[in-house]
Structure 1
Amino acid sequence: MMTTTKNFCFCTLAIGHAYRLMAQDLAQDLAKYSPGTFFYILTDNPQDFASQNNVVAFKYYQRGIQRCYNDKRFIIERVFSDFSTAIYIDADTKIIDNFPDELVFPPGVTAVHENLIEHITKYRPESLEMIKKVASKLEISLTEAQWIGEALFVVTKDGGKGQEFINLWGLIATYAQLRGMHSGEGNLMGLAAAKIGWDVSLNDSWKTLNKLTQHLDASHFVKRSRWEQLKRTFGYHYRLNKERLLALRNFDFYYR
Structure 2
Amino acid sequence: MINRDKDFCFCTLALGEKYRRLVKQLAQDIQQYSPGTSLVVYTDLPEDLRDQNNILAFPHQSQGVLYCFHDRRFVIEKALSLFRVAIHIDADTTIIEEVPEIDWQPGITSGQGKFQNIIGHLDAKEKYLGEKIPKEREAFHKIASKLGISLENTFWIQEALYIVARDEGREKEFIKQWGRIGRYLELRQIHRGDGNAIGLAAAKVGWTVNTHGFQDLIKVRRHLDASKDPTEKLPNSQLKTMGDELKFKLKYHSRLNLARIKALKDWEFYYG
TM range (shorter): over 0.9
CA shift, 1:3, in A, is 2.7
Identify the match of residue 241 of structure 1 among 238, 253, 257.
257
Identify the match of residue 217 of structure 1 among 225, 231, 243.
225
Identity across matched positions, percent: 45
User: Does the CA contact (< 8 Å) of 1:121 and 1:128 recur in 2?
Assistant: no
CA shift, 1:153, in A, is 0.5
Distance 1:105 1:201 in 2: 9
The alpha-carbon distance between structure 1 residues 81 and 189, as it changes in their structure 2 partners (threshold 3 A), is same
CA shift, 1:196, in A, is 1.2
Measured against aligned partners, the alpha-carbon deviations of 1:69-102 in whole angstroms (never above 9, x if no partner) come to: 01100000001111111100000001111113x2
> Could you say which residue in structure 2 is the equivalent of 1:132?
141
Aligned pairs (5 A) from 1:83-94: 83-94=83-94
User: Does the CA contact (< 8 Å) of 1:26 and 1:95 recur in 2?
Assistant: yes
Distance 1:220 1:203 in 2: 30
Identify the match of residue 192 of structure 1 among 201, 210, 232.
201
Could you say what the CA RMSD is over the residues aligned between the two structures, in angstroms? 1.7
Distance 2:248 2:85 in 1: 32
Farther-moved stretch of structure 1 (85-94 vs 117-126): 117-126
> Could you say which residue in structure 1 is the equivalent of 2:39?
39
Distance 1:38 1:6 in 2: 9
Q: Is structure 2 residue 249 aligned with structure 1 residue 250?
A: no
The alpha-carbon distance between structure 1 residues 234 and 103, as it changes in their structure 2 partners (threshold 3 A), is farther
Give the TM-score normalised by structure 1.
0.94
Aligned pairs (5 A) from 1:26-65: 26-65=26-65
Distance 1:36 1:71 in 2: 26
- Count of residues in Structure 1 that have an aligned counterpart in Structure 2: 254
Identify the match of residue 119 of structure 1 among 115, 118, 121.
121
Distance 2:60 2:194 in 1: 19
CA shift, 1:190, in A, is 0.6
CA shift, 1:168, in A, is 0.3
CA shift, 1:195, in A, is 1.0
Please, which runs of 5 or more residues in structure 1 have no aligned partner? none
The alpha-carbon distance between structure 1 residues 46 and 255, as it changes in their structure 2 partners (threshold 3 A), is same
Measured against aligned partners, the alpha-carbon deviations of 1:9-37 in whole angstroms (never above 9, x if no partner) come to: 10000011111100111011111111010
The amino acid of 1:208's aligned partner reads D
User: Does the CA contact (< 8 Å) of 1:4 and 1:36 recur in 2?
Assistant: no
The amino acid of 2:179's aligned partner reads G
> Could you say which residue in structure 1 is the equivalent of 2:13?
13
The alpha-carbon distance between structure 1 residues 2 and 74, as it changes in their structure 2 partners (threshold 3 A), is closer
3-state SS in 1 of match to 2:103 = coil
3-state SS in 1 of match to 2:82 = coil
Farther-moved stretch of structure 1 (103-112 vs 218-227): 218-227
Please, which runs of 5 or more residues in structure 2 have no aligned partner? 127-131
Give the TM-score normalised by structure 2.
0.89
Shift >6 Å, 4+ stretches:
none
The amino acid of 1:175's aligned partner reads Y
The amino acid of 1:103's aligned partner reads I
Identify the match of residue 179 of structure 1 among 175, 188, 193.
188
Farther-moved stretch of structure 1 (119-128 vs 149-158): 119-128
Measured against aligned partners, the alpha-carbon deviations of 1:182-231 in whole angstroms (never above 9, x if no partner) come to: 12211011111111110012122x21221010001100116476479645
Aligned pairs (5 A) from 1:64-79: 64-79=64-79
The amino acid of 1:135's aligned partner reads A
The amino acid of 1:213's aligned partner reads R
> Could you say which residue in structure 1 is the equivalent of 2:107?
108
